[in-house]
Structure 1
Amino acid sequence: MGQKITFNLPDLGEGLTEGEVAAWLVEPGGEVKLNQPFVEVETAKALVEVPSPYDGVLAQHHAEAGETVDVGKPLATFEVEGADAPPEPAKQEERTPNLVGYGAREAGSKRRKRKGAAPAAETPAPPAPQSLAP
Structure 2
Amino acid sequence: VYADDLPRLAASVAHSFVLLAYGYVAGAVSGFVIGVAIGWSKAVGYWVHPVLRLIGALPATAWLPLAFFFFPSSFSASAFLIALAPAFPVAVLTWSGVASVDSAYYDVARTLGARPSFLILRVAIPAALPSV
Which bin holds the TM-score, normalised by the shorter protein?
Answer: under 0.3
TM-score between both structures, scaled by the size of structure 2: 0.26
More strand by share: 1
The structure number with the bigger radius of gyration is 1
Structure number with greater CO (CA < 8 Å, separation at least 6) is: 2
